[in-house]
Amino acid sequence: MNATSSEPRGTAVPPELAALRERIRALPADARAELEPLMDDVVEQAVYRSRVMTLARDALQRYRLDLAMTRFDLDATRREREALRG
């Protein structure tokens, strides 16, 4: 599928699926009519899973950063408390 089709701009279709789609397009019309809707569903699901994985990776990265900042803040608070006590 190209960028002008139903896929969002910038979304890459895995090369294996793109190759399979091209092979399906080379089939006779009756076989192509039967397989193309199924292929569209497969591509849509692959793109969706890719987006979900990207969102999950980004969320995990933000969580790790937030955790590191929280640890830093906790350590700084402990040092300040010890400096006030000492």
The CA distance from 20 to 26, in Å, is 10
Q: List the chain pLDDT tens, one digit each, 86 residues.
A: 444 444 444 468 899 999 999 999 999 999 999 999 999 999 999 999 999 999 999 999 999 999 999 999 999 999 999 999 98
Q: How many separate domains does the chain show? A: 1
Question: What pLDDT score was predicted for residue 11?
Answer: 67
In a domain, 72, yes or no: yes
In a domain, 32, yes or no: yes
In a domain, 3, yes or no: no
Percentages helix, strand, coil for the chain, rounded to the nearest 5? 80, 0, 20
Per the structure, the complete domain to which residue 62 belongs is given by 15-85
8 Å CB contact between 18 and 24 = no
Burial degree of 13 (CB within 10 A; 0-12, 13-18, 19+): buried
Would you state the structure tokens that stand for residue 78, as one six-digit string? 């402990």
In a domain, 2, yes or no: no
